[in-house]
Structure 1
Amino acid sequence: MKLTSRRRCFPLRAPFSITGYTFYNTEAVHVSLEQGGAVGRGEGVGVYYNNDSADSIVAQLEAVGPQLAAGLDREALQELLPPGGALNALDCAHWDLEAKQSGVSIWQRLGIVPRELRTVCTIGMGSAQEMAATARAYARYTHLKIKLSEADPIARLEAIRAARPDASLIVDVNQGWSLAELKEYAPVAARLGIAMIEQPLPRGQDEQLEGFRSPVPLGADESCLGPTEYEAVARYYDVINIKLDKCGGLTQGLRLAELARRDGKALMVGNMTGSSLSMAPAYVIGQFCEFVDIDGPLLLVLDLPEGLLYRDGGVVGVPEPELWG
């Protein structure tokens, strides 16, 4: 098995701000696995808050090169690398390679008749007026995700709701609130028809939610990086956000989805602002999700030429086999 990797920089259409961080481009690593004339592909973006970067992804890929050359299979790979962008890229490349070698698509293999997904389009942080203007500019998208911090979130929510009374809205705080702030803001969010509040508290402070009954469903993102962390935080959240870069690929994403569905949790699929090569395996997880966030390519200046098709309403076409799977 031959491993090839290369860095890809995808500039963003505009700076994109969340709590504590502003993105200007997406630094991805593309992986190809070639065996017997078939080639499987994957993309790793990494998780910035875990110091998971293009540099660390490349270093991890180089470290496992000899094992891959010797034919390391996908299941063995799970024990070789930590969760993150490198494991995600290799795991997804393995799934793609297996599909190409067998002639059996990911959908046939998993017994899924794929449905088209409707993604949110994400509004980065800005002033209330700027965010409302962005919401109006996103008129073709029926579902919006709003990035908020502790800085006057209600004014921003009210401005966006006034600009888009028709839209389904979810909120992503990226660990930016205290419990007191959540208790203050959640009733207003309920009044404004917010469908979910994602990651309100800092990672590691989830136990503060014990006994709190939020009027809006709460979602775990940074608080649940993968299957091994699920049991510790599940009781505090209604929704689990699965990101393949975070948990380490489709194999781990499917395991996390199984755990959450067993317990009756709602699911969300998210992304780290990658290209369509990141979104295609996430599309598989999206088949089980109530909330879908695979809008990464919409934020890029230029996606891959064989990328996903995004249509009015935020409807995303099923990935073509030439892209992945």
Structure 2
Amino acid sequence: MKVNLLDESWPIRGTFTISRGSKTHAQVIVVELLQDKYVGRGECVPYARYGESIESVLAELAPLAVKIEEGLTRQQMQSLLPAGAARNALDCAYWDLECKKYGQRIWQRLAVAMPKPLITAYTLSLDTPERMKQAAIENAYRPLLKLKLAGKGDVERVAAVREGAPDARIIVDANEGWNEALYLEIVPELVKLKVEMIEQPLPANNDSALKYLPRPITLCADESCHDRRSLPHIIGRYDMINIKMDKTGGLTEALALKEEAEKAGLKIMVGCMLATSLAMAPAFMVAQNVQVVDLDGPLLLAKDREECITFNGSQMNIYQDALWG
């Protein structure tokens, strides 16, 4: 076994803005595992919100190269890296290699039904109400829109989008940008605007108020949810969790988290960082039969991989094994 670590940059179509800032490129790391004639690949996105960077993730992965070359297994690797981007890329590369070695698709390795196409949300970047309305008009044909919000002016933003896309379902993501007072002010207005879900309204380290605040709209934990260890904190504060591969540390933990969360009565959203189809492919499997799919990363890029997931509007189609799994 040999290991390659690749640092890649993919241009975004325009600028992508959330409450924490803007970006024009998606910075990803790809892990390649090479064994005989087979190559397994996995992609991750280091995320500064969780103290990650390209440099830090490469530094986490580099020392494992020798152990991998000596035969470290996917199961053994789980305890050597924390839940996060580094373990995600490596875990997904192991799964891809396993599929290629056994000549099976990922659903066959998992012993589950062949996946079906999915309808993904499409994200409208944080902007002025006028610009978000224009973006809504341009994407009004999409069945589900996700709006990036920030706090002040959010009701105006959502109202503008609702005017621009009157028939679309709408979910919103505050990215920890609200406080308790804003929550109480904004949520009743979002009910009137038929918003179906609010993602992470309060900071992850200060969300205890959600235990007693009214929840007329489904609340989804994003930054508050990483792996199964997050669930005791989440239950009673949120109705749904957002499973992202870069938070769980790979497909292995993502599937385990999904199963345990469903047993606890939580609804499931499967989301993504801004990345290529290589990162979406494992998440596509986790996103089967969930309430909300948010895997639009490739739609927001100016360019995707040559072997990529194809989209019919907002419908994600089943990918070929040349991409992954």
Q: Following TM superposition, by how much is the alpha carbon of 1:151 offset from its aligned partner in structure 2, in angstroms?
A: 1.9
Q: Deviations over 1:110-168 (max 9, x none)?
A: 21221111011101111000001011112342211000011211111111001101101
Q: Which residue of 2 aligns with 1:77?
A: 77
Normalising to structure 1: TM-score of the pair?
0.97
Within 2, Cα distance between the matches of 1:11 and 1:57?
21
Letter of the 1:157 partner, please give it. Answer: V
1:5 partnered with 2:17 = no
Letter of the 2:285 partner, please give it. Answer: V
Q: Is the 8 A contact 1:44 1:57 kept in 2?
A: no
Mean Cα deviation higher: 303-312 or 139-148: 139-148
Q: Is the 8 A contact 2:43 2:279 kept in 1?
A: yes
Letter of the 1:280 partner, please give it. Answer: A
1:129 partnered with 2:127 = no
* Structure 2 unaligned regions, length at least 5: none
1:289 partnered with 2:281 = no
Q: Which residue of 2 aligns with 1:251?
A: 252
1:232 partnered with 2:230 = no
Q: Which residue of 1 aligns with 2:191?
A: 190
Q: Following TM superposition, by how much is the alpha carbon of 1:190 offset from its aligned partner in structure 2, in angstroms?
A: 1.3
Q: Following TM superposition, by how much is the alpha carbon of 1:182 offset from its aligned partner in structure 2, in angstroms?
A: 1.1
Q: Is the 8 A contact 2:107 2:115 kept in 1?
A: yes
* Structure 1 unaligned regions, length at least 5: none
Within 1, Cα distance between the matches of 2:260 and 2:23?
32
Q: After TM superposition, list the pairs within 5 Å mapping 1:1-325 onto structure 2.
A: 1-110=1-110, 111-312=112-313, 314-325=314-325
Within 1, Cα distance between the matches of 2:184 and 2:259?
31
Structure 1 stretches of at least 4 aligned residues deviating more than 4 Å after TM superposition: none
Within 1, Cα distance between the matches of 2:85 and 2:315?
26
Q: Following TM superposition, by how much is the alpha carbon of 1:22 offset from its aligned partner in structure 2, in angstroms?
A: 1.2
Q: Is the 8 A contact 1:5 1:30 kept in 2?
A: yes
Letter of the 2:97 partner, please give it. Answer: L
Letter of the 1:187 partner, please give it. Answer: P
Q: Percent identity?
A: 40
Q: Is the 8 A contact 2:139 2:165 kept in 1?
A: no
Task: Say which SS state the counterpart of residue 311 (structure 2) adopts.
Answer: coil
Within 2, Cα distance between the matches of 1:156 and 1:219?
20
Task: Say which SS state the counterpart of residue 252 (structure 2) adopts.
Answer: helix
Letter of the 1:23 partner, please give it. Answer: K
Task: Say which SS state the counterpart of residue 235 (structure 1) adopts.
Answer: coil
Normalising to structure 2: TM-score of the pair?
0.97
Q: Deviations over 1:209-253 (max 9, x none)?
A: 112231100000001111111222222111100010111111111
Within 2, Cα distance between the matches of 1:124 and 1:189?
18
Q: Is the 8 A contact 1:128 1:155 kept in 2?
A: yes
Within 2, Cα distance between the matches of 1:321 and 1:205?
43
